[in-house]
Structure 1
Amino acid sequence: MPDHAPVTTIVFDVNETLLDITTLEPLFARLFGSGEMLREWFPELILYSQTLTLSDRYVPFGDLAAGVLRMVGRNKQVTITDDDVAELKGLIGSMPAYPDVKPALKALRDAGFTLVTLTNSAPSHSPTPLEKAGISEFFDRSFSVAETGKFKPHPATYELVAQEMGVTGASLCMVACHLWDTIGAQSVGWKGAFIGRPNNSILDAPGVPKPDFCATDLTDLADQIRAAGS
């Protein structure tokens, strides 16, 4: 029987959902002659993170990101130096929040929701990416898949959050711009909320779960979640 419990805890993906990865484009333009190469590197990064999990292996996301950058470089006959890798890691750790993020987070927090994050990235020392982006104050907890040794969308990553927060089922809602993330959350009984970011769209195919909420602006998405619980 479907769980129609109201949402109390909202779990946010971080990279590309809250933080703007398009700010990495100048690095890819310098290395490869086109900022669009970001869109070859990032899907490969996600592919190999999920491959490792399916193979029961784990490599920290930052190390994997560097390795995939070098792999893409070899594919394009471009030499990737240690300085290039260091620049990539520095940029990933300093991405700004999208303009719609702060207003949406404030509205949800003011409405009484508990807000946490769940990221593929490993934990980092202060100042964290959320602190640098000026949005850490909105979150009660920040979770990393490193605690499970499995990347999203493995069920263990979502179950970690539910256990630690003491909340189960559809009282939890996953907000992400990657449909594979909302699908993973919905597979363990959560609600899914999809935010359309550049180069991210809904997959419309038989058997693919549709998000419970969907918008192209995070403020609109927040309004939908609030309205569903009123």
Structure 2
Amino acid sequence: MSRATRPRAAVFDAYGTLLDIHSAVARHAARVGDKAAAVSALWRAKQLEATWVLSATGAYEGFDAITDRALGFALATHGIADDTLRADLLRAYRSLDALPDAAAALARLRDAGLATAILSNGQPDALAAATRAAGIAPLLGGILSVHPLRRYKPHPAVYALVTERFACQPDEVAFASSNDWDAHGAARFGFRVFWINRARQPVTYWLDEMATILPDLAALPDAILG
């Protein structure tokens, strides 16, 4: 298939790409205090680190449990011992805000006839709840979770869930992620990858050679549809 041909499906990472991963702490920032930004960043970092360690060692624990453990580590690191706050932050993580450019990008791609879906490390029920709360569930044709596979991104078997679901070849899939390591894994699998570099960070993982780099999702529909 020619790269000039329009893809059949537009598939998105969820956390950090469509959903604002820092909105959970932001809702309780006054209770977390002046360490709110640091807690949120460390929570995310330890969450991702756990998925990589488990995948590398051939083990698995559900993403909900990983998220809880990572939050506990982040709070303890910053000297915050508040079980009620911890429970409230976990609840907030199940209803993250949509990033402001997510809905419009999804709607335009769906209206252009592309299948739209999420491919995420999150567990199915958590993803369903989060997309409903964020108001983007009606714009998605499917939610694909690693949970039944019991492996995390960037394992190639995770990306194969997409080609199996849509009965297509990898280069018929446009894949968008704000996570550089995820974008790299998807590109290695053969997807047409769009790295959403919201943080304007330096290019890593050879993504300048392997992906289209965009500043936000607002630029994505034109990049995919031409």
Normalised by the length of structure 2, the TM-score is 0.89
Percent identity over paired residues: 25
On the 8 A contact 2:196/2:214 being kept in 1, the answer is yes
Q: Counterpart of 2:18? A: 18
1:47 matched to 2:49? The reply is: yes
**Structure 1: 5+ residue runs without aligned partners?**
none
Deviation, structure 1 residue 28? 5.7
Offset from partner CA, 1:101-128 (integer Å, 9 cap, x none)? 1211111111111111011110117962
On the 8 A contact 2:15/2:21 being kept in 1, the answer is yes
Q: Provide the secondary structure at the position in 2 that maps to 1:173.
A: strand
2:64 to 58, 62, 73: 62
- Matched residues in 1 for 2:209 and 2:17: separation? 18
Q: Match of 1:21, as an amino acid? A: I
- Matched residues in 2 for 1:44 and 1:69: separation? 8
Give the 5 Å matches for 1:147-186: 147-186=148-187
- Matched residues in 1 for 2:186 and 2:127: separation? 28
Q: Counterpart of 1:193? A: 194
Offset from partner CA, 1:117-145 (integer Å, 9 cap, x none)? 01111011796211111111111110111
1:113 matched to 2:81? The reply is: no
Cα distance, 1:49–1:126 mapped onto 2, change above 3 Å:
closer
Q: Counterpart of 2:224? A: 225
Q: Counterpart of 2:35? A: 34
Cα distance, 1:97–1:210 mapped onto 2, change above 3 Å:
farther
Q: Match of 2:219, as an amino acid? A: D
Give the 5 Å matches for 1:114-153: 114-124=115-125, 128-153=129-154
Cα distance, 1:200–1:53 mapped onto 2, change above 3 Å:
farther
Q: Provide the secondary structure at the position in 2 that maps to 1:147.
A: coil
- Matched residues in 2 for 1:148 and 1:138: separation? 25
Give the 5 Å matches for 1:52-91: 52-81=54-83, 83-91=84-92
Offset from partner CA, 1:19-70 (integer Å, 9 cap, x none)? 1123123336633632222112211210111111111111111111111121
- Matched residues in 2 for 1:125 and 1:78: separation? 25
On the 8 A contact 1:214/1:221 being kept in 2, the answer is no
- Matched residues in 1 for 2:172 and 2:11: separation? 11
Cα distance, 1:127–1:113 mapped onto 2, change above 3 Å:
closer
Cα distance, 1:106–1:90 mapped onto 2, change above 3 Å:
same
Moved over 6 A (4+): none
- Matched residues in 1 for 2:70 and 2:33: separation? 14
On the 8 A contact 2:123/2:147 being kept in 1, the answer is yes
- Matched residues in 1 for 2:173 and 2:196: separation? 16
Q: Provide the secondary structure at the position in 1 that maps to 2:147.
A: helix
Normalized per residue, which structure has more helix?
A: 2
On the 8 A contact 1:193/1:211 being kept in 2, the answer is no
On the 8 A contact 2:193/2:212 being kept in 1, the answer is yes
Q: Counterpart of 1:212? A: 211
Cα distance, 1:185–1:223 mapped onto 2, change above 3 Å:
same
Q: Match of 2:23, as an amino acid? A: T
Q: Match of 2:22, as an amino acid? A: T
Normalised by the length of structure 1, the TM-score is 0.87
- Matched residues in 1 for 2:6 and 2:190: separation? 13
How many equivalent pairs are there?
223
